[in-house]
Structure formats: structure tokens, C-alpha cells
Homo-oligomer: A and B are copies of this chain.
């Protein structure tokens, strides 16, 4: 602890302000501002002097104060409900895309306490748009009335007609190939752990599930569809319900990998061999899915590419460009690993 009063750091965290730089350099605040922003109208002598003081004090302009004053901040926001595998993959793609744009990236999350208030994206948007960030990418937004007139792009968006530009994977096609794979292996009792009903992606996956059955002439048993809501806990419950039935399914198609991994966990817990007695197919191909035992067969969606595209569109929007495509859809592919086999192929 030093008692010396020579330092005038009053804010916690030891922030140095322009005020202090100006005082130290013996000039006015606005002169410091000019030096920092490289504005003309400063003698090279003062410039050097002030620069030296700035370096010595380690001054750096407060993002917040600057944001409040300026319209442009040069920062793009990625708004997520939580940092989980899907959103972080999208984030990696966004980071990749932003590298050459000159923008900085801020990812913002309320820490998963989303259910408290449906419509978190609306609140987040109000909080940061127009001040902290120049534009925002919304990852899996839930509400239907995000009628925002600023530059905003949604990834894997909600139900309902949205005026927002969107980027999403082709969930319908993806579910088709996932369920077709199971059907081709000979499965006839295929259960589904469904996703969050408010998300378009979840609805399409269920539709794909039904269409695949229809195309194969296999009737759908509606009691085999259980809500998993893209949530590990809920999906575990759903899987338990399914697998404890007197007539359990021979396969489970899960609306996302987190749910599929949960189902795999439950199967192991109940002593059900996978893929011997139960086949499981997921959706997403999050990196974690390859780490499972056995590694998960899943429908891959290009998560990073989703983030990449969203940033590209957003940057165009901010620049005032007109978007060619306002609703971009990316393809999915099947990744065969070890959780699927023909039914009754007990090991």
C-alpha cells in the first residue's frame, strides 16, 4: 500500500482519463483529443509532447465515453442467450470473418438467465445498438417482433415472418437426410426429441422427420415425439420417458447434438447398448459430438459459416449496401460415426 498522493487515480481500476493526461502535459483536454484522433491543428512539438505523456501514463480512450459521443464505434456485437457449443461456433466464424474488416467484436450474454424474460434479444438490442455497437448479430433470437430498423442480422431465427435478414442452415433437408439414414438402416420405430418450438429451425426439423417417414411410407407414431427444447436437462427427461416405455423405439433422432448427447447418456445409464439396441442421430455436429462414447452420428450444419455469412451481411448493411439475399440458407451433410446401426444388431 503506498500513501503517496502524487497519483490522482480516483476511479477504481486505475483508469487514466484525458483529464489527467491534459493536466500532466499542461494542455487542454481538446488538444489531447486532437492528438489521439490525429486531427490537424496541432504543432508537431505539442503533438510529440502529448504523445509522450500518453505513452507514459498508458492512456487509452474509454470505449464507453467514446461510444456515447460518436455515432460510429467500429464495434460489432454478437448477442447470444448463452455461451454454449452452438453459439461459440458461430462466434468463431464471426471472428474469422471480421479479421479483415477493421471492426472489433463484442459478444454479449446475460449469462443464460434467459427464461426470466422472453425477448432477451429485444432488450439486449436496445441496450447496445446505437451506442456501443454499429450493428448486431442475433444468435437464435426468440421473439417475433424484433422490428428493428438498425443493421441487424439473425442467425437461426425465430418463428414468424421476420423483417430481419437471416442466415440459417437448411433444417428441413438436414432432418430428411438424418431420418432417411435411419430408415435405410431398417428402423421403423424412430422417436424424435424435438427442439424449441419457437424456433423455425426446430419446426423444420420436425417437419423433415415427418416428410422422411411419409416418403418411405412409414407411419409416424406421435407418441414417439417428445419435447427436448434444445436443452440438456429437458432432453434427458425426454429420453428417459422414451426408453422406459414397454415398447421403446429402436432409434432416436434428436433436434440437436446437445439433446442427442443427453439421450446417449441416458441410454448408457439404463444399460442400453448404442448402437446395438438403440441408434441415435443428432443435429449440428458440435465439436463435442466427436468426443462422445461412442462418437455421435449427426447431421452437420456449417455453424462457423453461419457466423461468417452473418458478419459479411452485417458489414454490408452498415456500409449502406442493399442486400442481394435477405434470407440465406446453407446446406447440411450427414456425418456417420458410431451411434447408428441396423436395428436388432445387438453387439
Interface residues of A (CB under 8 A from B): 9, 11-16, 58-65, 67-68, 71, 82-85, 88, 91-92, 94-95, 98-99, 101, 103-113, 122-123, 126-132, 148-151, 286-288, 290-291, 295
Contact = CB atoms under 8 A, between A and B. Distances in A.
> How many copies, total?
2
Contact of A290 (B9, B103, B290): B290
B126 A15 contact: yes
A104 B99 contact: no
B58 A122 contact: yes
A103 B111 contact: yes
A206 B87 CA distance: 34
Given A83-B95, A105-B83, A15 B129 contact: yes
A11 B133 CA distance: 12
B110 A107 contact: no
Given A16-B126, A98-B111, A290-B290, 6 more contacts: A12-B150, A15-B130, A15-B150, A60-B126, A63-B131, A88-B92
A347 to B, nearest CB: 21
A128 B71 contact: no
Contacts of A123: 60
A156 B82 CA distance: 24
Contacts of A107: 83, 91, 106-108
